[in-house]
Amino acid sequence: MPVNTGFKRQFAIIDLVPRVTFLPANETFEFETGKLPYKGHGRPESLLDVAMNFGFHLEHACGGSCACTTCHVVVKEGGNNLSEMEDDELDRVEQAADYQLHSRLGCQAVVKGDVKVSIPEWNRNYVSEGH
């Protein structure tokens, strides 16, 4: 007869095919974790990397090196499915126009599961004007 020791195993659930939705465009992209070709800007499998792989424009004036705030997004759902924010990103994102509690830099936030992010209006206008 098995003995119940009260020990529970805990396993991290990793979404092998995360979905990233960019609002307000409401465009969703799926990719297989570990198989997204790295585009050389930002961290591999970051929001910026996902956007670049699928031809979705997310501004990144510094080339994704965490030196500006043009890839600023606001996480609407799934914040726990992004990598933790490191000090460099925190220092930089706090300088972003319209900084909010759930603001992240697309070049630094690595996708680990389903997430919805909104591109702030000031950045959408910046992109649409072709700057």
Determine how many CB atoms are found less than 10 A away from the CB of residue 127: 14
What average pLDDT does range 94-112 have in this prediction?
96
pLDDT of residue 42 exceeding 50: yes
The torsion angles phi and psi of 95, rounded to 5 degrees, stand at -90, -5
- The mean pLDDT of the chain is 87
Assign 123 a pLDDT band (cuts: 50, 70, 90). Answer: low
Q: Which residues pair with 105 in a beta bridge?
A: 72
pLDDT of residue 10 exceeding 80: no
DSSP states along 100-123? -TTEEETTT-BB-S-EEEE--HHH
Assign 5 a pLDDT band (cuts: 50, 70, 90). Answer: very low
DSSP states along 29-44? EE--TT-SPP-SSSST
What average pLDDT does range 112-125 have in this prediction?
86
The percentage of residues in the chain with a pLDDT greater than 90, rounded to a whole number, is 78
pLDDT in tens, 54-94: 999 999 999 999 999 999 999 999 999 999 999 999 999 99
Assign 124 a pLDDT band (cuts: 50, 70, 90). Answer: low
For the question of whether the overall pTM of this predicted structure is more than 0.85, the answer is no
pLDDT of residue 28 exceeding 50: yes
